Structure 1
Amino acid sequence: MQTEYKLYTIAALTLLATIGISANANAENQAKTTIDLNLRYEAVDQENTLKDASALTLRTRLNHTTASYNGFSGVVEFEDSRQIAGVDDYNDTVGNNAEYSVIADPESTELDQAFVQYKQGKLTAKVGRQVITLDNHRYVGHVGWRQDRQTFDAATINYNALENLNISYSFLNKRNRIFAQANDLHSKDHLINIAYKTQYGQLTTYGYLLEVDEGTTNGLDTFGLSFKGQKDNFSYFAEFSTQDSESGTTDYSATYIALEGGYSFNAVTLKLGAEVLGSDDGMYGFSTPLATLHKFNGWSDQFLATPKEGLVDLYASLSGKAFGGGWTVVVHDFSADEASESVDDLGSEINAVYAKKFANNYTAGIKYSAYSAGDTASGKVDTDKVWVWVSAKF
C-alpha cells in the first residue's frame, strides 16, 4: 500500500507540474495526449509435462506529454494489461496456473512513466519514472515486446559536448520490470554511455555498475566498447566488454564478444553474426539483467538467463519487404562457451515474422519461433511459440 501511495504521489506531482507547464506554453507549442493499444494472442507448446499455454491480452497505454515552457516539459503515462475473452491458460509468472507453460504477461495496472524534463541547448535532464534505452538494448532496454514494458525510476543527464559527441549518465533507484509491480526491484545502478560519431560509424564506450538494493552484498560491473557503421550496401558491428560479478563472498569474471556483418541487395538484407556470452570456468555466464532480452538469442526466450557454461550464438538473418509489409527470417545455432562432458550443444532455433502497417494508425503481425533442444543436461526442451497481434496508436 505504501508503494502504491508513493507511485500515485509521483504521478500527481508530475501531473501538477505538467499542467503548469502547459498553461504557460505558447499557442505554437501544444501538449499532446495519445493512446496506444496492443491486442495479442500467444501460444506455447513445449515437450515437457507442462500444459500447452495460450493467452489473449490487451495492453492499453495512455500518455500525456506537455508542451515545453522555458525548457521544461513533463510526461504522465499509465499502462494496463488485461486478459481478454477468458483466454488465460498460462503461467503468468506471478503465481497463477503454474501447470502451464510461461507467457510473461500478467494482468497489471501501473504508472508507466511520470517525469519532468529540462532541455536547454546541448543539455537534457530528466527526473522521474522513465523509459531508458541504450544503443541496441543489449545492456539497457524497455523490453517493449512484453505487454508490461520495463521502465526505471531514475535521474538522467544527456550532454552533447561536441557536435558528434554525446555523454549520457543515469542513476537508477528502481527497476520496474515486466512481471507486474510486486516483482519490481529497488537498486543502486549507474549507467554511463559515451558515443562519438566518425565518418566510418559510431564508437561507443560504456560502464554499467549495477546493484540490487535488497540488503545483500552484490554487484555487476560491466565495461565495454562497440563500433557500428555502414558503407554503401555493407553494415558492420563489433563489440567487446568485460564483466565482474559479486554475490555474497563469491566473485566471477566473464567477457562478451559480438561481431556482425550485413549486405543489402535488391531490397533484401542478409546478416551473419556471432555473439559470445562468456563463462568463468563453467561456473558463471555473462549477464545483462536490464536488457531487452527477447531481441537476442532467439525469440523463444530460452536464454533469458545465460547458462553457467556461457553461450555462443551463431546466427544468420534475411529480411525484406512484401505486400506492403516487412518480413524477417533468422536461424540460430547455440553452443556452450566452456563445454563440459554433459553440456556442449545447446540447440538451434528458427524465427520468422511478418508485420504490416495499414489505415495510418494500425499494425498487424504474425510471428513464430521453433527451438530444438541440444544436450538434455542443459535443461532445455523443444519449444514452439506463435504470436498474432493487432496494435493501434492515436
Structure 2
Amino acid sequence: MKTAAKMINKTIIAFSLTAALTPIAHAAEWYDALSDIKASADLYLRYEGASQDNALRDANALTLRTFAGIESGEYNGFSFKVEMEDSRIVLGQGDYTVGPTGYNVGEYSVIADPETTELDQAYIQYRSDNIKVKAGRQVIALDTHRFIGSVAWRQDRQTFDGISVNYKVSDNINAFYAYVNQRNRIFAEAADFDSKDHFLNVSYSNNIGKLTAYAYLLEIDNDVENALDTYGLRFAGAYKTDTIKWLYTAEVATQSAQTDTTDFDATYTLLEGGAVVSGITAKLGYEVLGSDDGNYGFATPLSTLHKFNGWSDQFLNTPTQGLKDFSATISTRFAGGKWTAIYHQFDADEAAIAIDDFGNEINFLYTTKVAEKFNLGVKYANYSAQDFSVDTERVWVWVSTKF
C-alpha cells in the first residue's frame, strides 16, 4: 500500500510539474517565433514618360516605391506578416495624371502611380505539410495573372482583404480558394472597392504540362447587381527534345456579366506556341477577348493588365467590340542581360462600321543585374492607332534592390 501511495504521489507531482512547466514551454516557443522575426525592404525607383497624339500634355513621372515589412517565425504552424508600402514623387517630377485620385485631371497623359502610404499586407498564416491558410490583407496572383493578379508593375500594387486556402491534395493536384471582401486597387485607398468575390483554382500537373480549371465569381458590394462570373480551363506545358524545347498553351473561358438591366455573355480563347533553341525563345500567340454582339467585351478587372495586349495600356478595358490580339515574341540573353521584343496586331472580335482594325504595337525590354544587388531595366512601347485610340509612346527606366 505504501508503495502504491508513493507511486500515486510521484504521479501527482509529475503531472503538477508538467502543468506548471507547460506555459513556460509554450512561452519559450512563442519567444523563439517572435525572436525569429525577419525584416525586409524593397526599393524601386522608376522614370516613366508618356506621349499621346491628342490634346493632353506629355507626362513625366519619377517615383520611388518602398516596401518595408516584418515576418515572424512559426509557432505550431502559425506566423504573421506586416508590410507597409509608400510611393513618392522624386525631384518634383510629377507632371502626369491619375484620374481616380483627382491628380492633375485632364492635363497630362495618364501614369497610374499616385503618391500614397498604406498598409500593403497584414495577415496571419497557418501552414502544415499540405495546407496553407492566410487571413487578412494579402497578395493573390493565380497562374499568369490573366484573371487574378497583383499588378506589381504599378507602384501601388493590388492586394486583397479576405481569407485564402491553398491545399496540396497530392504531388500532382493543388486546390486554391479565396473569399475577398475588399479589393485594394492601384489608385490608393480612396479608390478601393468592398466586394464579395470568390476565387477557385484547381490544377493537375504531370510531365507534359499543367491542366487548370478555375471559377472567378466577382461582385462589388454596393447594393447594385453587378455579378461577373468567369469559368475556364487552361493547359500549358513544355516538351524537350535533344535540341529544342517546345512550348504550348491553350485556354478557353466563358463569362456572364449581369446587372439590374442587362445580361451579357462572352468567351475567351488563347492559343500560344513556341520553341527555345540555342538560348533563343520564339513564340506566337493568338488571344481573343470576345464580344456579345458588339455590346460587351470580355472583362478581366483583377488582372495584371499591363502584362497583356501591349505595354502602352490601350486595352485596360476591353472594347465592346471585343479584341483579337495576334502577337510574336522573341527573347534571348545578350551582353549581360535579357532582351525581349514583341509585336502585336489588334483587331475587333465583332467589327462595327469604321471600327475593325485596332492598330498595332511594338514592345522592347532590356533587363540586367549590377553587382548582384541591383536590377536595371529599360522598356519601350509604341502603339500605332487605326480605328481605335491614338498613337502612343511610353518609355520606362528603372533600378531596384531589396534586402
What range is the shorter-chain TM-score in? over 0.9
- Counterpart check, 1:52 vs 2:58: yes
CA deviation map 1:359-390 (0-9, x unaligned): 22210111000000011xx3x00000000011
Inter-partner Cα distance in structure 2 for 1:79 and 1:26: 23
Q: Does 1:195 align with 2:203?
A: yes
| Alpha-carbon distance between aligned partners in 2 of 1:24 and 1:366, rounded to the nearest angstrom | 44
* TM alignment of 1:127-142, pairs within 5 A: 127-142=135-150
CA gap 1:351/1:20 in 2 versus in 1, 3 angstroms = farther
Q: Is structure 2 residue 281 aligned with structure 1 residue 269?
A: yes
Instruction: Kindly report the root-mean-square deviation, in angstroms, between the aligned alpha carbons of the 2 structures.
Output: 1.4
What amino acid is the match of 1:60? T
Q: In structure 2, do the counterparts of structure 1 residues 266 and 182 end up closer, same or farther at CA, with 3 Å as the change threshold?
A: same
User: Of the candidates 126, 129, 132, which is equivalent to residue 124 of structure 1?
Assistant: 132
Indicate whether 1:81 and 2:87 are aligned. Answer: yes
Q: Is the Cα–Cα contact under 8 Å of residues 68 and 85 in structure 2 kept in the other structure?
A: yes
The aligned counterpart of 1:305 is: 317
In 1, are the aligned partners of 2:48 and 2:61 still within 8 Å (CA)? yes
SS in 1 for 2:67: strand
1:96 aligns with 2:125: no
Distance in 2 separating the partners of 1:243 and 1:263: 31
Instruction: Give the whole-Å Cα distance in 2 for the aligned partners of 1:140 and 1:100.
Output: 29
The TM-score with structure 2 as length reference comes to 0.90
Q: Does 1:164 align with 2:176?
A: no
Query: How far apart in 2 are the matches of 1:134 and 1:181?
Result: 23
Q: Name the SS for the 2:64 alignment partner.
A: strand
Of 333, 338, 348, the match for 1:326: 338
User: Offset at 1:92?
Assistant: 2.1
Is residue 218 from structure 1 mapped to residue 226 from structure 2 by the alignment?
Answer: yes
Deviation at 1:31, TM superposition (A): 2.5
1:26-65 residue CA offsets vs partner (Å, 9 max, x unmatched): 98xx331111000000000000000000000000000211
* Distance (Å, rounded) in 2 between the aligned partners of 1:86 and 1:198: 52
Displacement, 1:268?
0.8
Any idea what the Cα deviations from partners look like across 1:92-119, whole Å, max 9, x if unmatched? 2311212110000000001000000001
| Counterpart pick for 2:351 among 339, 343, 354 | 339
- How many residues are aligned here? 371
Q: Among the aligned pairs, what percent are the same residue?
A: 54
Cα distance in 2 for residues equivalent to 1:153 and 1:56 = 29
Report the CA distance between 1:76 and its aligned residue: 0.1
Could you say which structure has the larger radius of gyration? 2
Residue 341 of structure 1 deviates from its aligned partner by 1.4
Contact 1:22 1:31 in 2 (8 A): no
Residue 41 (structure 1) aligned with residue 47 (structure 2): yes
CA contact (8 A) 2:172 2:204 kept: yes
CA–CA distance in structure 1, aligned partners of residues 52 and 167 of structure 2 = 47
2:59 partner letter: A
2:252 paired residue number: 240
Deviation at 1:212, TM superposition (A): 0.3
Q: Which residue of 2 aligns with 1:381?
A: 390
Please state how far the C-alpha of 1:22 moved relative to its aligned partner.
6.0
What amino acid maps onto 1:135 in structure 2?
D
Q: 1:22 to 1:282 in 2, by over 3 A?
A: farther
1:278-306: per-residue Cα shift (whole Å, max 9, x none)?
00000000000000000000000000000
Report the Cα offset of residue 21 of structure 1: 7.8
Give the Cα separation in 1 of the matches to 2:54 and 2:34.
61
Structure 1 match to 2:4: none
Does the Cα contact within 8 Å between 2:34 and 2:72 map onto a contact in 1? no
Structure 2 segments unaligned to the other structure (5+ residues): 1-26
Three-state SS of the structure 2 residue aligned to 1:218 is: coil
Tell me if the contact between 1:312 and 1:337 (Cα under 8 Å) persists in the aligned partners. Answer: yes
Q: Distance in 2 between matches of 1:149 and 1:20?
A: 37
Tell me which residue corresponds to 2:17: none
User: C-alpha separation between the residues in 2 aligned to 1:182 and 1:312?
Assistant: 34
Residue-by-residue CA offset, 1:297-318 (whole Å, 9 max, x unaligned)? 0000000000000000000000
In structure 1, distance between residues paired with 2:128 and 2:116: 36
Aligned equivalent of 1:10: none
Measure the CA separation in 1 of the matches of 2:34 and 2:195. Answer: 39
Change in 2 beyond 3 A, CA 1:87/1:21: farther
Does structure 2 retain, via aligned residues, the 8 Å contact 1:21–1:73? no
> Using the alignment, how far apart are the partners of 2:28 and 2:214 within structure 1?
37
C-alpha distance in 2 between matches for 1:113 and 1:323: 37
Instruction: Please give the alpha-carbon distance, in whole angstroms, between the structure 1 residues aligned to 2:297 and 2:38.
Output: 44
